[in-house]
Amino acid sequence: MKKQIDSSKSIRAAGSVDVKMLELLVCPLSYGPLKYDTDKDELVSTRAKLAYPVRDGIPIMLVSEARPLQDDE
């Protein structure tokens, strides 16, 4: 089962990603909230249907680097 942390509501540590930073980040395409998927180490935008990678604790917030979400995700 995939674990997700809602960055707008969570105050717990999210693996290697700084929680305070997660609270400030929004999707650069939709300007909607992001959820951190700890299993895949991605920030997920359900509005834009994109998953942004997190590399070495740094979110890569480029649409060109994002992975399109499948319908079942």
Q: Which tens digit of pLDDT belongs to each residue from 2-16?
A: 555 554 444 344 456
What type of residue sits at position 73? E
CA-CA distance, 60 to 72, in Å (whole number)?
23
Q: Which tens digit of pLDDT belongs to each residue from 24-48?
A: 999 999 999 999 998 999 999 999 9
Give the architecture-level CATH label for domain 4-68. Single Sheet (2.20)
CA dist list (Å): 29 to 21, 33, 49, 61: 18, 11, 10, 10
Per the CB < 8 A criterion, the answer to whether 21 and 34 are in contact is: no
The DSSP element (H or E) to which 63 belongs, if any, is none
